[in-house]
Amino acid sequence: MSSVKSFVAKMESKGRHEYVFSCPSSICLSFAVRLVDDYTQKGPLGDVRVTVKGEQITNVKALKNLSGYYIFSGLPEGRYTLSVESEHYFSEEKIVDTSSFVGSKEPIVEVFLRPRPSYPFPDRATLLRGMLATEFELPSNITVRATSVVTGRETRGILDEKGEFVLYFREIVKGKADVVLEVKGEGIEKTLPASIEEGRSIYVGFISIS
């Protein structure tokens, strides 16, 4: 049985975190990936595929350990494209340079996952939903933003492939609150009033984009 080398990045004690990574001593830990659900601020829901590709490798899949981290081991030092895909979240890509981890006790890459409109939000979630409607193909860089009329706080979202969006409000909303909904992208800019309500999913309908 091969010996095991443990990599301790941080210790959890009174508010600190403990991340323990283990792999056979013959294999070097390249880095670990911590995935965070942007809505719950916890681990992701459902199946998640985490891979890397680089000049020397193509689509190497991570191994998930018992602590919920996605582990890459034995990678040649270099730059890689880290990809995360899931049915509940928008796909994410991030460039990782493993040379920055040389000698580090914390070889951790953190990725926040943004829920898709089809995400299984809890029944009492405060949401603002809608869909863009146009005769033309929507550009990929469109963003949707809701700004509170009272506090000025912003909540941002992105579109799925059908033009649908969901904005989720984690802060406590007392009753109803007015927001300004803005849609922006290449050649597109539209502003309209909207309201959110505590514990409810509000649908603003189709937003026509000419």
* Nearest residue to 210 via CA among 126, 103, 153, 135: 135
Q: How much is the pLDDT for 27?
A: 60
Q: How much is the pLDDT for 10?
A: 38
More confident residue, 10 or 92: 92
Q: How much is the pLDDT for 6?
A: 39
**DSSP-assigned letter for residue 21:** E
Taking the CB of residue 18, how many other CB atoms lie within 10 A of it? Answer: 11
73 contacts: CB under 8 Å, gap ≥ 6: 23, 27, 28, 29, 30, 63
Task: Indicate if the pLDDT at residue 18 is higher than 70.
Answer: no
Task: Indicate if the pLDDT at residue 93 is higher than 90.
Answer: yes
- Per CATH, 4-113 and 127-208 having the same topology is answered yes
What is the DSSP track for 146-200?
A: EEETTT--EEEEE--TTSEEEEE--S---SEEEEEEEEEETTEEEEEEEEEETT-
Q: Where are the domains of the chain?
A: 4-113, 127-208
Worst-scoring range by mean pLDDT, 7-21, 50-64, 89-103, 187-201?
Answer: 7-21
Q: How much is the pLDDT for 102?
A: 81
Task: Indicate if the pLDDT at residue 14 is higher than 90.
Answer: no
Note the CATH architecture for domain 4-113: Sandwich (2.60)
**DSSP-assigned letter for residue 78:** S
> pLDDT band at residue 207, thresholds of 50, 70 and 90?
confident
Q: Does the domain made of 127-208 have the CATH classification 2.60.40.10?
A: yes
Task: Report the predicted TM-score, pTM, of the whole model to 2 decimal places.
Answer: 0.81
pLDDT digits (tens, 9 = 90+) for 117-145: 999 999 999 999 999 887 777 766 788 99
> pLDDT band at residue 210, thresholds of 50, 70 and 90?
low
Task: Indicate if the pLDDT at residue 20 is higher than 80.
Answer: no
Q: How much is the pLDDT for 15?
A: 41
